[in-house]
Structure 1
Amino acid sequence: MKLLALVFLLALLPAGSARGRHLPKAAISSPVFGPRQVQGVLGGSVTVQCFYPPTPVNKHDRKYWCRQQGSRCVTMVATNFVAPSYQGRVSLSDHPEAENFQIHISDLGPGDSGTFQCGLGVNGRGLSHTVTLNVTEGPDVPEAAELFYVKLRSTWTVSCGFGEHTASMRRYLCKKEKDGCRNIVNSYQEIDPDFQGRVLLTFEEPPGSFSVTMTQMDWEDTGLYYCGAGEYGNGGNSKELDVFVYEDKNFPHLKTTVTGKTGSSATFECLYDPLKKSSTRIWCKWRKQGCDKIIDNTGYVKFNYEGRVAMFENPENKTVTVVLNQLQPRDEGFYWCMSNELKEQQSSTELKVVEGEPALTGQKLVEAREGSRVDLTCSYPCQYYSYEKYWCKWNYTGCPMLPTPGQGLPGPAATCDSSTRTVVLSFDPVTREDAGWYWCGVRRNGAFGEAMAVELQVGTEGDAKHSPELLDVDSSPESGAVPPGGAYSDAEVRKGAAPDSSEESHGSNTLALVLGPLAGLILIVVTAFAIVRYRQLKRSDLVSVGSYRTNISMSDFESVRDFSASNGARESQETPMGGDEFVTTSDTPESAADTKKAKRSSKEDAELAYSSFLATSDSIAQGSAGGDGAVSPPQA
């Protein structure tokens, strides 16, 4: 009953989970691998190559080549041994650094055909591989399959080329199956869904050549493949590839999937063994048409990833860690670690970005004034309390940790307030050189965890833009004080403490710069006009002459004033009249009598002054109104 239940549960498993569940018999029974068939010509020679895991025991163990005879396997050649009947024409050479040994057979005869085994140890251990050798008379020998001995979870790379005439043809890699050859990838960017993100086809030189790289090799990837140009089995060019996947327990097991929260970070591990100064280490994002480089160890960082990505080398465990922060949904995809050292150490990891709140929190953009004190804060939850916390300053080649050796105060210093679980990076005072990206993060046992990026912008008072109506004239120390932490609020930025970076503020400043000088110019003109007008009013009286009103200088009336003046008399005042007469009224009868007496005694002088006045007023009226005004002399 229990057996039936187990069978039923296995039947319910999804088809996709079959990958990695059943191991090929060859991978389980023997890690030794070699060719399935070898073709030879009479009188010629062949070389058989057999692979084995490079463990310390295997490197020093006995290697052999034997011929199957029923239930027995008779040794023809082994380490330090050659059968008498094969002396002089059979040899075995071991290459532990290349993880294989080779059997060379010359002067082939018809009796050399048969079934053989290449193996390690003594017969019966099971560490062997069966090979069929065929010796024929024909001059043409079929091309043998190229062998690939690939570690589990590592990367396989193969190069193929069929001449320049195939440069315009479809290039492909397919896997041999019962019903044909299953397309894995081709130059038309058609990729099997099971290989999305972990296979890449690249064109190479000379024209017509290409390579295929497949990462995260699994047990089911063992088998026969064909790379070719044109269509498989339709008269095109093709090459047989025999791939064997085995497990090396010393080979690191890397994550195939990394999950990060929106706004948080993700950490990727890359294998680079050995780490050489001349090696190239690249981290790129996989796409069907290629791998888009994001960062490498030479100082290259893609422009839209500045401040977001950093590469940390760890020679102790022969790995390189890549940290990507400020995650967004568009960052989802497959990322590759690539190197020019060992192709098998290239790897791919899928990034998934999910909704959630980052564990590390703090102000992501801090604006400060040069010479002030600035505190960059990074708060962490209880889950990171036992982790190592750090601050580092990002640059194109990495993120050096702070404080650096030999750096004393004043300057950056990291302190942690355990009561509030906050890591603080302080600058006292801050300088222009301190501007840039700073990362706060956690580590545990040398492994990088979550990280948060903070951008620090440092400006000076000269960078502030003031509009005339918002100009602060208070020169007291308090007016320019920087709030704790050195960060400016939005209101403080608008007061001129630092330039506003928003488009709206930029537009307001531009409008103020245009209208300010114009308003000032208008104010100056109006003021000048008012002054001139005031001075004219002080020196003139408003006079009505017919239908015209104008300002006449009192110098024209000096003779009239002399004529009408008398002891104790008041000045005459203007009286608006509907006619053309100029009339004066006296305040008292006495003053009127005096005036009449003065007029009679100086009649000739008065007539002369009056004539001068009429001539002047007529000239002014014509110039101001542009017409002819008729002025009638007063009646006697």
Structure 2
Amino acid sequence: MSIFCAAVLLTVIHGAATRGIVAPKQLTGLVDGAIKFKCHYSIATIANKYDRKFWCRFSANERECNTVVSTTGYLNRKYNASIIDSPENNFFEVAMHGLKIEDAGKYSCGIGTSARGLTATVNVAVTDDSVVPVEAELVFGQLRGQASIVCTFGSQHATGRKYLCKIDRVGGCRNIIDSLWEVDPAYMGRVMLSYLEAPGSVKVELINLERGDSGHYVCGAGKYGEFGETRDVDLRISQETTIPQVRNSLTAPEGGSIAAECHYDPRVKYSLKYWCKWRDHGCRQLITSEGFVQEDMEGRLALIDNPSNGTMTILMNQLTDDDGGWYWCAFASEESDQRFTVQVHITREQPGLSSSSIVSVAPGDPVSIPCLYPCKYNPHQKFWCKWNSGSCDPVTCTTEDQRGLSVSCDKGTREFLLSMPSASLHDEGWYWCGVKKAGRYGETVAVHLKVSEEARPNAAPPPLEKSDGPEEDDSSIGGSGRIHRIDTPSDASPPDSKSSHVLPIVLSLCAVVLLAGATYLLIRLKAKRNSDLVSVGSFRTNISLSELDNPRYAGKENPTAVDAQETEIGQEDQKNTKKGSKEDLAYMSCLIYSDNSST
């Protein structure tokens, strides 16, 4: 009875320990050949990285496991074995060479000082046959981590369907992804198949691993169960992980924005960090930490990296329906890559922040761009920043009163103002208004500032062109020079109506006067064509009399002089606000110059 209880207890302990370390279940080697494999372990427990690793063989009665080789330098002289630990990749590699038939048996790889620590059982077979059976390839991944499966089938399968399927309980194989770009809905956005350089070779990548992803997979060329070649894959998922739980679903209104926060290990030196949009056959890079931004994403996408706490934030605004879908946060290093998936949903709601999408000003004019925000953003930090090559360094302001007074919220609008005293061509570009809460980025809205002479209001008409050749329908100015024919505007004053009364009188009085009347009529009709030319002394101008009555010239001594122009840009600031009220506490303005300094 005691022996039975001990056996049961050993089985329970052994089974519990197996969950902490993962190794192949079966290995087969040729006589005088070799076996080589990896034992994976979690690095969530720091001791696993620095503790003793070993490879041992069970005795005939399986009551003890005698060490073959360990990382402390021990080697049993009966075996030609080696062990190499790789704590940065959370596995150690075991190899046995010069295999003999008597080497077949039950082994264990483990961590600790005895076989009662973290262990995994491996059955080793040795054969003198010329063909070694292909065992299932072990692939290990951490929860919320990733795993890569490489399958090589040779040039005879360079063309044709490649696939990865998962064996189900009834013996079938459910298609996960294939080269025809059919993806299982449960793996949408987190699986990708790509071709390798070697003909007939593909790689399947799984990210955001879940507990249910563990199991037996088949990587194949052709059609499962009918024709082609297959490779068995044993995918194991560690329940312990150092990878943080991140929010992988974001919802934003059309025309609004998202702020995706991705975490990485700040101790790892990544050569590249990037944000890409997932497709079943690839992931299109949109922005990278090296300053690359896709042309169609300029002004609406920013990458903010914070290596001190291992956080990369992606800000994307001006969202459309086409922006919905799956995205990957990716971190590439020499050892391995790390990826996280984020799904973006687009709704028909209204964005919280609002501003003008385009603002046009002339050089030298002042700029005032209000950013309107709802009451819920009252306690949040607000910022304006100028976008440049995928970065947007904010100048932060806040509505928080430094004297400790509270800010009330009423039906009045809230404005966060961007002001520039004098715009220059250097100031042209994209400006973002946004909010932050507890150091985390939130909603943003983009404004495109255009600085050009064409934006100058009430600009004088272009100079009249002189012609050296003969022109039709021209009139002289003081007997010298010519101007082009000026069409009568729709609001010009009507022609003199005297001709309509003179003509019937002349006709009724005398036929002799008919010739003089006709001549007079022709003169008046010719004068009608140039009725907009108003004489001022001996000078004519092309300002219509009706335009002089237009209210937009009121108060201007010379509406045609460039030096006398008036502009209304920036006059929106002059609003009647309640001085000294709590409303003033909710209003802040940042004066941002081209060098991003603020006053």
TM-score, structure 1 length as denominator?
Answer: 0.64
1:28 is displaced (CA, Å) by: 8.6
Does structure 1 residue 63 correspond to structure 2 residue 53? yes
Q: In 2, distance between residues paired with 1:97 and 1:415?
A: 43
Secondary structure (helix, strand or coil) at the match of 1:236 reads strand
Partner of 1:348: 341
Q: In 2, distance between residues paired with 1:326 and 1:92?
A: 55
Q: Report the CA distance shift for 1:259/1:300 in structure 2 as closer, same or farther (over 3 A).
A: same
Q: In 1, distance between residues paired with 2:161 and 2:16?
A: 33
Partner of 2:368: 375
1:349 is displaced (CA, Å) by: 0.8
1:215 is displaced (CA, Å) by: 1.4
Letter in 1 for 2:245: H
Once the two structures are superposed, the pairs formed by residues 129-208 of structure 1 within 5 Å of their partners are 129-178=120-169, 179-208=171-200
Q: In 2, distance between residues paired with 1:220 and 1:466?
A: 69
Partner of 1:291: 283
Partner of 1:474: none
Q: Report the CA distance shift for 1:308/1:281 in structure 2 as closer, same or farther (over 3 A).
A: same
Once the two structures are superposed, the pairs formed by residues 438-449 of structure 1 within 5 Å of their partners are 438-449=431-442
Q: In 2, distance between residues paired with 1:467 and 1:143?
A: 85
- Residue by residue over 1:138-183, the C-alpha shift from the partner in whole angstroms, topping out at 9 and shown as x without a partner, is 0221234433221111122233332333222101111233413221
Partner of 1:395: 388
Does structure 1 residue 36 correspond to structure 2 residue 37? no
Aligned 8 A contact 2:291 2:390 in 1: yes
Aligned 8 A contact 2:32 2:100 in 1: yes
Does structure 1 residue 95 correspond to structure 2 residue 86? yes
Q: Report the CA distance shift for 1:467/1:372 in structure 2 as closer, same or farther (over 3 A).
A: closer
Aligned 8 A contact 2:379 2:400 in 1: no
Aligned 8 A contact 2:359 2:448 in 1: yes
Does structure 1 residue 209 correspond to structure 2 residue 201? yes
Q: Report the CA distance shift for 1:110/1:60 in structure 2 as closer, same or farther (over 3 A).
A: same
Does structure 1 residue 266 correspond to structure 2 residue 258? yes
Q: Report the CA distance shift for 1:122/1:42 in structure 2 as closer, same or farther (over 3 A).
A: same
Secondary structure (helix, strand or coil) at the match of 1:142 reads coil
Aligned 8 A contact 2:54 2:110 in 1: yes
Q: In 2, distance between residues paired with 1:426 and 1:298?
A: 31
Aligned 8 A contact 2:380 2:399 in 1: no
| Mean CA deviation greater in 428-437 or 121-130 | 121-130
Once the two structures are superposed, the pairs formed by residues 303-318 of structure 1 within 5 Å of their partners are 303-318=295-310
Secondary structure (helix, strand or coil) at the match of 1:58 reads helix
Aligned 8 A contact 2:287 2:390 in 1: no
Does structure 1 residue 111 correspond to structure 2 residue 102? yes
Larger radius of gyration: 1
1:329 is displaced (CA, Å) by: 3.6
Q: In 1, distance between residues paired with 2:252 and 2:185?
A: 24
Q: Report the CA distance shift for 1:314/1:28 in structure 2 as closer, same or farther (over 3 A).
A: farther
Pairwise CA RMSD of aligned residues? 3.9
1:218 is displaced (CA, Å) by: 0.8
1:133 is displaced (CA, Å) by: 0.6
Q: In 2, distance between residues paired with 1:146 and 1:59?
A: 24
Aligned 8 A contact 1:66 1:73 in 2: no
Q: Point out which structure has higher relative CO (alpha carbons under 8 A, 6+ apart).
A: 2
1:295 is displaced (CA, Å) by: 2.3
Q: Report the CA distance shift for 1:193/1:135 in structure 2 as closer, same or farther (over 3 A).
A: same
Q: In 2, distance between residues paired with 1:276 and 1:551?
A: 102
Q: Report the CA distance shift for 1:549/1:103 in structure 2 as closer, same or farther (over 3 A).
A: closer
Aligned 8 A contact 1:435 1:458 in 2: yes
Q: Report the CA distance shift for 1:430/1:176 in structure 2 as closer, same or farther (over 3 A).
A: same
Q: In 2, distance between residues paired with 1:102 and 1:461?
A: 70
Q: Report the CA distance shift for 1:464/1:275 in structure 2 as closer, same or farther (over 3 A).
A: farther
TM-score, structure 2 length as denominator?
Answer: 0.67
Q: In 2, distance between residues paired with 1:355 and 1:262?
A: 6
Larger proportion of helix: 1
Does structure 1 residue 253 correspond to structure 2 residue 245? yes
Question: Any unmatched runs of 5+ in structure 1?
Answer: 1-24, 404-413, 472-514, 531-541, 553-636
Letter in 2 for 1:357: Q
Q: In 1, distance between residues paired with 2:485 and 2:144?
A: 69
Aligned 8 A contact 1:155 1:343 in 2: no
Partner of 2:36: 47
Aligned 8 A contact 1:121 1:127 in 2: yes
Q: In 2, distance between residues paired with 1:166 and 1:43?
A: 32
Partner of 1:627: none
Aligned residues: 460
Aligned 8 A contact 2:18 2:119 in 1: no
Aligned 8 A contact 1:415 1:423 in 2: no
Q: Report the CA distance shift for 1:257/1:131 in structure 2 as closer, same or farther (over 3 A).
A: same
Q: Report the CA distance shift for 1:48/1:300 in structure 2 as closer, same or farther (over 3 A).
A: closer
Aligned 8 A contact 1:30 1:126 in 2: no
Aligned 8 A contact 2:143 2:241 in 1: no
Aligned 8 A contact 2:164 2:218 in 1: yes
Aligned 8 A contact 2:360 2:455 in 1: no
Q: Name the % identity.
A: 36
